[in-house]
Amino acid sequence: MNYLVTGGAGFLGTALSNRLAKQGHHVRVLDDCSAGNPVYLSPEVEFVQGDINEKTLLWKLLQDVDCVFHLAAKVSVPESSLFPSNYNLVNVSGTVTLMEAIRDTKVKRVVLTSSGAVYGRQDHTPYLESIEVHPETPYAVSKLSAEHYVRTIGAQAGVEAVCLRIFNAYGPGQRVPHSHPPIISNFLKHALTNGTIIIHGDGSQTRDYVYVDDVVNALVTSSTAVGVDQQVINIGSGVETSVLELVRLVRQVTGRKPEEVYNPLKSGGSDRMCASIAKAQEKLNYIPLVPLETGLRLTMERDPQFKKEIETKPLA
């Protein structure tokens, strides 16, 4: 098949594009490199640098494409509160521009990477796709808007539309920016360098951590599965893990003893988050294969930044 992966030079996009190329598909990536880096893409992947709002470029790239994976987005929740108009421009307008081009070039299917963040604060876990959503940040609003546009324009134009609400993905290749880094790569980095792990609140808040290969499995299946048009489907591990449990596992897999500091200020977001993956199991035959402890080990072994640390100071 012929695929276009927008945001394909990012964390999830690189893993997805490389998997598709390995399976023998033709993969074209569009990415503006604002956060991603194409050096990690397989040589078989055709890379084009450009912006998701460039309609003429999209037209060119979409010729003969069977399915689009739409991952291009700005992804920092705290940054979205500071610059909501930027998040609207890329995550919402960019999606609309892409959908117009998809409609006009008659692509058969689009798969959007939405987010578990759209649920906002909920009283009960696990989160079913059918519950009322309460997005609480501009990032969450932008992902929910993108879902609506993809499904609405898709339905009007006869383009099959699938929205995957991904929970906290992690794995090798995830960037660790200085401000607001993703929790798993941040904890691993500080544990391996004997730094300090900062725990916001009392550490009882929970998240659903899902390994990158499991997310890629779900994405790949979504591009050909039958009966998924117009569906919104959660992708997580289905396991609820507290920050304290995550710290314990990080200590266990690294064998290091990082200092722990408690910051009484909570970092924001829901106290508890966990995906119901029943719908993914039914519609995509999705079964998460990598438990958190294994995923942490794989991340350390396969991510060049952690591999370097382990080589200089081997694990106990």
Binding site for ligand NAD (CB under 6 A): 7, 9-13, 31-36, 51-52, 71-75, 90, 94, 113, 115, 143, 166, 168-169
The two counts, helices (H) then strands (E), for the chain are 12, 13
Residue 272 near residue 207 (C-beta atoms within 8 A)? no
Instruction: Identify which of residues 16 and 199 has a Cβ nearer to ligand NAD in the complex.
Output: 16
Partnered with residue 261 across adjacent β-strands are 198
Minimum distance between the CB of residue 235 and ligand NAD, rounded to whole angstroms? Answer: 8
Instruction: Identify which of residues 29 and 199 has a Cβ nearer to ligand NAD in the complex.
Output: 29
Minimum distance between the CB of residue 208 and ligand NAD, rounded to whole angstroms? Answer: 10
Minimum distance between the CB of residue 225 and ligand NAD, rounded to whole angstroms? Answer: 19
DSSP letters of 118-148?
A: GGBS-SSSSBPTTSPPB--SHHHHHHHHHHH
Instruction: Identify which of residues 5 and 247 has a Cβ nearer to ligand NAD in the complex.
Output: 5
Minimum distance between the CB of residue 259 and ligand NAD, rounded to whole angstroms? Answer: 26
* Active site residue ranges: 139
Q: Cβ neighbours of residue 196 under 8 Å, at least 6 residues apart?
A: 190, 258, 259, 260, 261
The DSSP code for 276 is -
Provide the terminal-to-terminal Cα distance of the chain, rounded to the nearest Å: 46
**Residue 286: its H or E element:** none
Instruction: Identify which of residues 37 and 156 has a Cβ nearer to ligand NAD in the complex.
Output: 37
Q: Which of 83, 219, 210, 230 is nearest to 148 (CA)?
A: 230
